[in-house]
Amino acid sequence: MKYTKYITMLVASVLVFVSCDIEIEKAYLNPTSDFQAPELLSQGPVIVNDDNSKTESVVFNWTNASFGPSVQIEYSLYATANSKTALLGSSFTNSLSISKSDLNGVVANDLGIGVNQTANVSAYLIAKVYGTNVEGVTSNSISFDVTTFAASLRTLYLPGNYQGWNIEQAPEYWETDGGTNVYKILVNLDDGSEQYSYFKVTVARNWSDENWGYNFLTPSWYCPEQSDSNLSVDLTEGSIYVLTVNRGKMTIDKENVSKVGIIGAFDESAWSTDLDMTYDTVENVWVSPAITFSGDLNFLIRMNESWDHKYGTDNEASQHVEGGVKLVKGGADLYAPSAGTYIMKLHGNRTPYVLVMEKQ
């Protein structure tokens, strides 16, 4: 039949096509010894201050790396000082622009230079073939001076299930130091559930500005995926945490704390038992029970009922919390102003922590 003839010819054509050798052009990288590293170009001194940090950037430039054929190359720029190394950023072009504000944070915090300091910083590039395990190449190193400054402290907010997702009263927490891009809070995320407590990080007490879950902030722990991309902690592992947000790197870390307590020369428990401090989500403070001093007036704040995690004082008052005293890890004993009954309030949303003693 006519149809049979056509089908036979089609099958024969397919068989002939399959039997042919198909040659696909492949790209082969040069031997590693032939890879060419980029050259990072010199950078002049960088001075960061309150005026230029908001508007200016520092641009780093370099020449092309080569791996033989045309491939997509990712360049990662690193800075070093004080035997510390920090990533400044990555680029697929021959330049990288970093805001002076972000550079200030990296140098002051990640490299340990501190604020209002001038330090010599080195920088270098690592170039890699994007998406592969091919060994990268490292550029030359350049050095330049960076002058940091103490920027005004900025804040973030922590709405979550533990406080009923009340965005208007989301607990506020502060940068560890101005311009560092690092924020810390001591918080109890217990929401009464049996396992996961969900929360987010926001830049304001509303949902119209930026808000970040694990789709924007990279957590250092596992967060189970759900439709809202909320961050979460497993309450079976504990509910009290020090959360650290690095806004420059867009990461969040957690450190579990088993107990926040106060111990000292008060009541019948003098220096023998830590009294629990409880977290008030509305005031965003840790509150002690009423404590009566009738003889000695000294006491300490402790984490985990451990002397290795005691917080005392170097007698420096807080400039930001009225009537507060700055806490120092390992510091000297704190003292109540006089005999009587007090409620102690620990502000764990600042670095350093601040304690307020309220006489009843």
State residue 11's pLDDT score: 41
Confidence of residue 1 (pLDDT cuts 50, 70, 90): very low
The CATH number of the structural domain formed by 155-256 is 2.60.40.3620
Superfamily of domain 32-147: Immunoglobulins (2.60.40.10)
pTM (predicted TM-score): 0.74
The single-letter DSSP state of residue 36 is: B
State residue 298's pLDDT score: 96
Q: What is the DSSP string of 279-337?
A: EETTTTEEEPPPEEESS--EEEEEETT-GGGEEEB-S-B-SSSTTEEE-EET-BPEE-S
Same fold for the domain at 155-256 and the one at 260-359? yes
Q: CA angle at residue 131 from 126 to 135, to 5 degrees?
A: 45
Identify which of 58, 129, 143, 66 has the alpha carbon closest to the alpha carbon of residue 95. Answer: 58
Q: Yes or no: is domain 260-359 CATH 2.60.120.560?
A: no
Q: Which of 22-31, 181-190, 268-277 has the lowest mean pLDDT?
A: 22-31
State residue 26's pLDDT score: 52
Identify which of 336, 185, 161 has the alpha carbon closest to the alpha carbon of residue 260. Answer: 185
Domain boundaries defined on the chain: 32-147, 155-256, 260-359
